[in-house]
Amino acid sequence: MGSDNGNWCLIESDPGVFTELIQNMGAKDVQVEELYSLDSDTLHALAPVHGLIFLFKWQGASRSEPPAGPTMGSEHVYFAQQIIQNACATQAILSVLLNRSDDIELGETLNNFRSFSVDLPPDMRGLALTNCDQIREVHNSFVRPEAFLSDEKRPATEDDDVFHFISYVPVGGRLYELDGLKNGPVDHGETSDWLNDVGEVIQKRMSEYSQSEIRFNLLAVISDRRKILTQKITTMDADISKLLKRLEALRLDDRADSHDEVNRVESQIGMLNSERAGLEHMVEIENDKFAKYRTDNALRKHNFIPMVYQLLRGMAMKGSLESATEQAKELGKKRTRQPRQE
């Protein structure tokens, strides 16, 4: 799975982590949403969806997959081979962003990187990513503090659980799978509505695993929901304003048929106000979600080791560490003996 880890850390597969990564790389109005269903209605409810990122347990090349080499007509697909193992999460994100540059405002860093690397072959694109200081610094901002550091680098063995990220993205009316461990993009065929077709492709890959394997994660790269909802509210406010002006004019008209029209317009205004309230509530939910992302990411990055060390040191000096350790052990034994609640 790629070569030496280099100077890239492992990062967590989490929508809050991926959203902040994208923001810190400079892309605008993009967020990542975790998916729990592959059905078309769920995917369309998040539209516009720029691409999907799939995490799965890597078990080598599958015999049922399409050829791993470059496919005819895929020259316009931005594909980079994976050079560094720990960079596969960021590489999967970039596989979506750099192929959707017509729909996404990439920002200076990603625009410069794409312009520099777009004419390179896939292996050199991967090497260019590995050596891009700006992207690596954003990626490594999520490095977890370690209590013990070791220079030893042990390669993964057959007994290790190794996980891998790949991307699914529509380009030029076709659905592509972008896996940095392959030689080129995998073409899954022509598609008029890729959100209707991608579920079957991912489901087929998942079916190749045993029924006991449930460690999959699917993330959607979508437009910022807050911006989309706010735009809908703005459009709705304009419609309500027009109806209010219409209502005012009707109330000055004494004709009998105007009264029926007044009732109809008042009903329309009421429905729009109700829908508007629903949209405002959805904006609040998204704002709360982003606030939680910021809190969780701050906790991920914070180094609690000095605090824990000082706490344990203080307990040891007071003579309470040993008894607290034994109490914790007993509590752990009790929990393991308790029957699981279904």
DSSP label at 86?
Answer: G
Active-site residue list: 88, 164
**Residue 51 CB-density burial (10 A; 0-12 exposed, 13-18 middle, 19+ buried):** buried
Given the structure tokens 């193992």, which residue do they identify? 85
Tokens of 155: 């390669």
Q: How far apart, in whole angstroms, are the C-alpha atoms of residue 283 and residue 290?
A: 11
Q: How far apart, in whole angstroms, are the C-alpha atoms of residue 196 and residue 210?
A: 25
Contact 3, 127 (CB under 8 A): no
Residues 6+ apart with CB under 8 A from 307: none
Angle, alpha carbons 301-306-309 (nearest 5°)? 135
Query: Strands across the sheet with 163-171, in order?
Result: 30-35, 217-223, 49-57, 163-171, 174-178, 186-190
Tell me the β-bridge partners of 169.
Answer: 176
Residues 6+ apart with CB under 8 A from 190: 173, 174
Classify 163 as helix, strand or coil. strand
